[in-house]
Amino acid sequence: MCDYRGVRYVYDYAEEAPGGRELLGGKGVGLAEMTALGVPVPAGFTITTDACRTYMAAGKVVPEGLDDEVGKHIAALEQRSGKRFGDPSDPLLVSVRSGAAVSMPGMMDTILNLGLNDIAVEGQARTTGNPRFAYDSYRRLIQMYGEVVDGVSGHRFESAIADLKAARSVTGDLDLDADDLRELIGTFQRIYEEEVGAGFPQDPREQLRRAYRAVFDSWDAPRANVYRGLYGIPDDIGTAVNVVQMVFGNKGEGSGTGVCFTRNPSTGESAYYGEFLVNAQGEDVVAGTRTPEPITAMHERLPAAYVQLTAAFELLEAHYRDMQDIEFTVEEGKLYLLQTRTGKRTATAALRIAVEMSEEGLISRGEAVARTDINQLEQLLHPMLDPTVAVEVAAKGLNVSPGAASGAIVLDADTAARRGKAGDDVILVRWETSPDDIHGLIEARGVLTAHGGLTSHAAVVARGMGKPCVTACEGLSIDERAGTVRLGDQTLNVGDVITIDGGTGRVIVGPVRLVPPAIDENFGTILGWADEFSRLRVRANADTPEDAAKAREFGATGIGLCRTEHMFMAPDRLPIVQEMIMASTESERRAALDRLLPVQQSDFEGIF
């Protein structure tokens, strides 16, 4: 399946590809490897990063032959699934998802339920006997396609949903019935036509062509550029595109979707961590629009699928020899894995996972040391609330990223970015964050959201950055127009100071004194193992007994530089130095020096 020049741009999950992760992207190579391992994965194929790079280099012109190659793979997918793309009665539907070689969670675009149109949705409703499912899938497609492909503001769609729920006097999306969703489809199509100037496209093949072009374009989106700059990801590697047969978590109480980790990404504990939603599609979990249930509750709600999921956990962690971040869907009791990748984690978790995996025999001590991200270790120095200070908790949410921070309330990412760059301490407070908020997340001291869960966008990004974050804060409500926030029974204004504790989920009105965190035993273990392999010894720059003690705690073998003038910078010592400098007679100068001598001597004794 090559174009006329012999260049190949598309690979099925069930066949070998020559370029690995660099060619197929992280998501594509993960799906291909899971297919080879026998893990239940939907059928599909990957459009390679070569295609994206060629598209970008040609000024966003699709490589010649790519559309034909995609068409041949769709035909093969039709044959395998027994469904036809564009069938008016029982259509094959696909998702179109990005997948760069380096993980960039939430930074690029996804479209689900692609292939539906006005006729096919009615056929799907009849064939499945589940009109609510069919209309729910179509309204999701119109919204996601409108936002990703044609740049329609998501707020217009969300406002329409909110207006309909208010008119029906209901609070949740699941409270809307099939007739409500059918009405919502009409509203969405009017919004689309008003914004785009044309009706929603009815040809599934046109939908697909425009969708994978839009995913290519999202590689160059501002939020993706900001994220790559933050993590040092090259701009020229491009993204792959994955076209996958849809499996549906929104078919009722026997279906669902979730995101989970094989170990706790905040603490490193060897315990399943994550969440799921019954009768939902994957975007509902990461977008934070509904509050999910913990993954352990799936044992009661979807027991057969949970057993399959835990078996997959064991298999994938043993295969990759690292903690895995997994997305899955359950369709009427049957489990499908949609993605596996090495999970992002806090520095505390990274150390514990490295130590425990070495002790379990999954990796060597050398690998444990090599996996330690030196830049991430800075997280271990993040402050926490002073445990001796009594605080009054105004509200509480999920403790999704440890550390504590105090700052002024800001309600939008632009303000957070501007004030943070100016040196102000700010807390970004949102209903939920989206990938477009990345510039504000970078500059904020911490993040507080009303919605979302352990694997929401805010939680994943904050953990990766080492910033404190609290999500799903039940006592939080926001009035953006008025510029006010309600925390429990207190109303606050933009600019008022709050403190969040990402380790416990507590939110406190006003500033709280912060103290340095304690270094745990895993830190010392990794440093000890590092000494076994190192050829260099590290000496510290230490000027006080406190500096020397901290240097010893971090494993320094000695002190390489001690600048004695720094001993006199303390508030109780500086006046004596000033007296010595300003003395008008030798006796006055000697008197001041006599007072400094025991101070300096005690410092040296403490240092030694």
Type of residue found at 21: R
Q: What are phi and psi of 551, to 5 degrees?
A: -60, -45
* Contact between 502 and 403 (Cβ < 8 Å): yes
* Contact between 298 and 375 (Cβ < 8 Å): no
pLDDT at 426: 96
Counting other chains too, the contacts that 3-9 makes at CB distance below 8 Å and 24 or more residues apart are 3/63, 3/64, 3/65, 3/66, 3/68, 3/69, 4/64, 4/65, 5/64, 5/65, 7/50, 7/63, 7/65, 8/48, 8/69, 9/47, 9/48, 9/50, 9/51, 9/63, 9/65, 9/66, 9/69
Grade residue 379 by pLDDT with cuts at 50, 70 and 90. low
pLDDT tens digits along 384-403: 888 778 889 999 998 888 88
Task: Decide if pLDDT at 406 tops 70.
Answer: yes
247-345: CATH topology is: D-amino Acid Aminotransferase; Chain A, domain 1 (3.30.470)
pLDDT tens digits along 172-197: 888 999 999 999 999 999 999 999 99
**What is the overall mean pLDDT for the chain?**
89
Burial profile 84-103: b = 16 or more Cβ within 10 angstroms, e = fewer: bbbbeeebbbbbbbbbbbbb
Lowest mean pLDDT among 114-123, 133-142, 559-568: 559-568
pLDDT at 6: 64
Q: Which residue has the higher pLDDT, 569 or 430?
A: 430
What is 383-515's CATH number, 3.30.70.20, 3.50.30.10, 3.40.50.1370, 3.30.230.70?
3.50.30.10
* Contact between 326 and 342 (Cβ < 8 Å): no
Grade residue 1 by pLDDT with cuts at 50, 70 and 90. very low
Q: How many CA atoms lie within 13 A of 350 on its CB side?
A: 24
Lowest mean pLDDT among 210-214, 455-459, 585-589: 455-459
What would you report as the CA-atom Rg of the chain, rounded to the nearest whole angstrom?
A: 28
The stretch 489-493 carries a mean pLDDT of 93
Q: What are phi and psi of 244, to 5 degrees?
A: -130, 135
Task: Decide if pLDDT at 565 tops 50.
Answer: yes
Grade residue 288 by pLDDT with cuts at 50, 70 and 90. low
* Contact between 540 and 547 (Cβ < 8 Å): yes
Q: What are phi and psi of 590, to 5 degrees?
A: -65, -35
pLDDT tens digits along 19-48: 788 999 888 999 999 999 999 999 999 999
Report domain extents, the chain.
Answer: 247-345, 383-515, 537-607
- What the block records as the tokens of 308 is 């399959």
pLDDT at 69: 95
* Contact between 333 and 307 (Cβ < 8 Å): no
